[in-house]
Chains A and B, each alone.
Chain A
């Protein structure tokens, strides 16, 4: 591989509107086909069948929105990130917006091997009393060393301790719109994955929330990071430190 082939175009995209109902595979297939239409200088690999060489961020569950879906396109030569962003956007359906893009030189790990942490925001309709209960449920959660949730899958039922994978958890009340915002920083990627929905459901279970509250839960992935020495580094700005860092 020549030095040029190791170049990567790192793109940060959103997932919004009705496209939040796309699965992980469907979402990336849509982005990759858009990249192909846009004529980017993509690199292909494969002995029998050529495949686009890419690396992308950890899966986002169906129904979640996001402003930090990340993909590395391996490119054969340098292209201005602004131009790449413009042409890619023209070929993407409504619901996927290119937020940022950057050309990464050789030697840096692809995004799929980089990310281990995510910042999620869950919103739900809730009154003041429930919000207060949630604050104490969050405090109890943070003061515990073990929090078990039951994960039911088609062929297994397991009790899993999620506490260790939740690094930050905060609850805020937006009184004017009668909503609660639950912000969490959790393992997501190379270190394993904490399902944000499981954290939310656990807390709503503790406060005995009504099914109509549970129905209103919306989850958004706000940011993805690499945790380095307790600091959260954004894959788009390798040197920048997040407010969650340290």
Chain B
């Protein structure tokens, strides 16, 4: 610890006097338990998460990548998070550049600056990170300095950020980012920056945005996407086998309470339930489970070296894990001995899931996501939970001692009518009545309603997003119907959903909008206290961007999308087929246990899920 602070180039002596002027100085200390030691003279990689420490330090992806890179010979990988606004002010005032947590050296002096792109409302923070590192925000203006690489979930449609990044890592980055680091390290000092970037772009799964050129029709739609040179085979997301990557094996333990303040261990990636609104369910296919004995080993080892009192089994739908019963029953004994609680996030709304989850912790709350209140609309979404199943789930949950039930709904869904929305309160009342009919005291219902945002690489990528006025009307209706004791209603800000929608299906022309908004002071857009919709409206206006065009327009079947050249698994044909099936409320069954319907995610459509147990 002491050595990295006294390392050549460390800014610690300038940073330390600022610490008592800012809220929560521990955000900027580094030196947490299990934080890696960095070596002076190593090839230097800095990985960033564009939000404050407490949010970023909880991110599993960043933790995995940091550990993977630190295993490479002669490479040190450090972290940086967005400084909070008070610290940013101090840094600007004192002219101190963005610094890494492990050695407090300037981020701008590293060799590779990897930035995680978690979601659309962090885009301005990404620009801010590059700027605070004293680097030009536009890739075209960077002649030297680190190669800036974007990765993570947001690369599903990275086009609005194309102007700011040198490269993107598509899909799961454990292997491709490590290959990129090795290559850049090998070429450092031997080739020029641009040549190195070009070489790196040939690694499968690495995307160099300047290799592609877009042309537009007069009405604003994309006319063509042209690859600037020859054949490019690398624009396919990469996937990994979780049994080969048991990471993070030494999770960093923050001093402060992080947003996910527990040990997070992945049990599987991918999901083929086929919910048509769900981007993650489409782009992480096929399903790859981690073997039960490895999950258990990882958890036991990590609990011992972290001291957490809670472990979460992470995935897109925990109880779909074929070995869930075995893992839960084994862990129950281990965790009881170690005084550790187990949590299962992302539960299906059925009796089986409730049985499993309730066996773990008796009381507290339980969360389900029915998404829509009518059976018809749930069929459109391909999330066909029957009302009988819902009732069974909530009754069982209350019987197991749950005193709070949290339900997630969306409004503004494709084909949604006012009736679908007005059914939300009615459904809640029916659930409550069913609980009463069993002689049980009804729990508190926390209802969270978000506005649907159509996403790239999903069957709903052709849909129009609902207008603000229409969403407002629906919210008003819900508010008046749900003013009852025992029901708490919360919203996702519909203006935030508008910006999210604009950027999620945006193209390169939105780069200027993001930059203008950031220059006008937009940052921390997912934080209600910082988000200002007017800045985004002004920025669109100034750059001649019509929000309507991106948000409220139903796309033609054959329209070229900005992300069409990036392959994340399901083919466009399949997605369109699914869109049509949605419109006629037809269901598509999970291919994990049924037949392959040729979505395109598996090589040659040869079913390649890695399941470790039998269907439950």
Contacts and interface: CB of A to CB of B under 8 A. Distances in A.
Interface of A: 17-19, 21-23, 25-27, 29-30, 32-37, 42, 44, 47-52, 62-63, 91, 93-95
B317 to A, nearest CB: 24
A48 B79 CA distance: 35
B308 interface: yes
B60 interface: no
Interface residues of B, number: 29
Contact of A37 (B19, B26, B32, B304): B304
B305 A48 contact: no
Contacts of A32: 307
A22 B257 CA distance: 12
A94 B1 contact: yes
B28 to A, nearest CB: 8
Interface string B297-308: 000000011111
Interface string B386-404: 0000000000000000000
Nearest to A215: B17
Given A33-B308, A37-B307, A94-B31, A49 B25 contact: no
B339 A49 contact: no
B217 to A, nearest CB: 55
B436 interface: no
Given A34-B307, A62-B25, A26 B364 contact: no
A61 to B, nearest CB: 10
Interface in B509-546: none
B222 interface: no
B361 A49 contact: yes
Given A30-B255, A34-B33, A35-B307, 16 more contacts: A19-B29, A21-B29, A25-B256, A27-B255, A30-B33, A33-B306, A37-B304, A37-B305, A49-B364, A50-B309, A63-B19, A63-B20, A91-B307, A93-B31, A94-B1, A95-B1
A23 B5 CA distance: 21
Nearest to B30: A18
Given A26-B255, A33-B33, A94-B2, A21 B25 contact: yes
A91 B511 CA distance: 47
B341 interface: yes
Contact of B341 (A17, A22, A33, A49): A49
A23 B309 contact: no
Contacts of A48: 361-364
Contacts of A18: 1, 5, 16, 29, 31
Interface in B401-458: none
Interface string B248-268: 000001011100000000000
Given A26-B256, A48-B362, A48-B363, A36 B307 contact: yes
B24 interface: yes
Interface of B: 1-2, 5, 16, 19-20, 24-26, 29, 31-33, 253, 255-257, 304-309, 339, 341, 361-364
A41 B507 CA distance: 58
A195 B211 CA distance: 62
Contacts of B20: 21, 62-63
A42 B304 contact: no
Contact of A47 (B19, B304, B308, B363): B363
B339 A50 contact: yes
A29 B309 contact: no
For the complex of A and B, the 9 pairs showing the least CB-CB separation, nearest first, are A33-B307, A36-B307, A21-B25, A37-B307, A26-B255, A48-B363, A44-B339, A50-B339, A63-B20
A23 B24 contact: yes
16 contacts: A21-B20, A21-B25, A21-B26, A23-B256, A29-B257, A33-B308, A36-B308, A36-B309, A37-B306, A37-B307, A49-B361, A49-B364, A62-B25, A63-B20, A91-B307, A94-B31
Contacts of A63: 19-20
A128 to B, nearest CB: 26
B164 to A, nearest CB: 33
A49 B361 CA distance: 8
A14 to B, nearest CB: 15
Nearest to B1: A94
A152 B236 CA distance: 58
A27 B255 CA distance: 7
A26 B29 CA distance: 12
A51 B340 CA distance: 9
Contact of A22 (B26, B305, B364): B26
Given A49-B361, A49-B364, A42 B339 contact: yes
